[in-house]
Amino acid sequence: MSNGRQQARPWRGESGQDVIEWSGLLILVAAIFAMLFSVGMAGTLQRAVVCALDQIFQIGPCAAAPAYPVSVSTRTVGYDGRVIIVDGGHSYTVTLTHLSNGTAQISLVNTGSVGVSARVGAEVKLGPLGGAEAQAQAGGGVYVNGSTTWTFPSWATADKYWKQISSGNSLGLAVNDGLDSSVPLAGHLLAGLFDKVTGEHGAPTQHSIDGRYLTATAAGGGVQGTASAGAGANLGSLGADIKASVSAQAGLERINSGAQKGDWQGTIRLSVDGDGSLGDALFGPHASGIGSLDGEVTVTFGPDFTPRELEVTASGDGVWEATGDGGEPPEGSAHGGTSPESGDGKGEGGEGGKSEPLLSLSHEGAGGEGGGSKFVGTLDLSDDPAAQAALEQVLEGNTSQIPVLIADMNAHGTEYVQSYHVSKSNSTWGGQVNVGGGGGAELSDGSSSACYDPPRVRQDGGPWTTTSWNTAQTC
């Protein structure tokens, strides 16, 4: 019969011997923790002992520290073409991220797009004194993309694969796509032959890196829009140019593998780029300052489309760039002939009107260094019905709930801010055909490398604290 007091039962190992009583173990652990905190042991040593106990007894007081970017390298390759008002293109972006916990990630995003656009322009000649011009373009369409993420146990392992996957360029991408689409079988063989002879290759895929490092794949699509404008003027040796562009995307993708398999992610992105230059007289040929602002909102949904997480990312940077190949077409632009606009057949400079080349080529290239800042905020929605309801209202177009989400993230989310030093370079080759309805194409390649400072972090509305890198975590 029971005496009213439940006896602690010993845990028995495979040998059948009594190892230790659970009640005694808990009392021992509690006593050790009480001792550590009561004697005021130094923070580093105290955490080391606590985490050692965690590893032995699996009681969970020592969670893994969050991982933040230490350095980020990006390679963007793409091409697009236009016939009259129809646009289409293919691009991919590969990103290498060194994380503060010693691991690294490589992400690949392949994007194909099709849409329509309109272009307008005007040019004024001031005779021997100079001239002025303005151009604008706006367009929209749809895109499809596939994304892949690999995770590596060390920076060195990731660096080895990064060199392989980031070595492509826009010309190789365009030729491979053209050959592959020409004849299904023969085109693929020709593309392989082209790659072997030239060393080029098409877009990377999820099979481009050893599958043991693969952590997630996803596929989706959405809508996008772009707008750009530029104006320039020159008077003698003085010149000034201003260019700006805005692009926006809204899409949805399904995660097909990895820890979040079956989940959905909806993303809205907005990017703004602009530059201004004061030409040759002050800073040499085509020197300019360029800046960019990027914002992204991502909502992760469960398989039943219940919102689980909200993430907001915003970054801005500016670099000083200098190049010898600026916005004006190079002197060696190809001219396939002239097409007089007036009916009298006079060529350029004739009395009857103005003419333009049937074919023109251009090249723009730039590079430089500068500084920037990045903000990331994450809010767990799984146990926050009020935030879920506010988000659903925002997704339905009720923008009055945005302050509610911001306040909730400030009070219950995880936020961090990092400053960084960035180096950028880009090169664009373009061709324009001015016959019939007109058309054109561009090949573009870009690279960037950013080195991040330790972040300032805030959790659940607490104070901002600064995380420090160890000596091995430097760019």
DSSP state, 79?
A: E
- Structural contact between residues 366 and 323, judged by C-beta atoms closer than 8 angstroms: yes
pLDDT tens figures, 153-185: 999 999 999 999 999 989 888 888 887 777 666
pLDDT of amino acid 56: 55
| Residues with pLDDT less than 70, the chain | 1-64, 119, 125-130, 183-188, 191-192, 194-195, 231-242, 275-290, 320-357, 434-438, 471-473
Q: Cβ-count burial of 255 within 10 angstroms (0-12 exposed, 13-18 middle, 19+ buried)? A: buried
pLDDT of amino acid 44: 47
Q: Which residue has the tokens 């989940």?
A: 263
| Run of H or E residues at 265 | strand 264-278
CA distance 273 to 228: 9
| CA dist list (Å): 357 to 121, 126, 268, 336 | 16, 20, 40, 6
pLDDT of amino acid 265: 93
Q: Coil, strand, or helix at residue 308?
A: strand
Give the residue among 414, 353, 399, 429 at the shortest CA–CA distance from 173: 429
Determine the residue type at 230: G
| CA dist list (Å): 159 to 127, 205, 474 | 54, 18, 14
pLDDT of amino acid 177: 81
CA distance 313 to 297: 6
Q: Cβ-count burial of 445 within 10 angstroms (0-12 exposed, 13-18 middle, 19+ buried)? A: buried
pLDDT of amino acid 72: 97
Q: Which residue has the tokens 């945005």?
A: 402
pLDDT of amino acid 13: 44
DSSP state, 454?
A: P
Give the residue among 299, 460, 304, 300 at the shortest CA–CA distance from 394: 299
pLDDT tens figures, 435-453: 656 678 889 999 999 999 9
pTM of the predicted model, to two decimals? 0.74
pLDDT of amino acid 332: 32
pLDDT of amino acid 74: 96
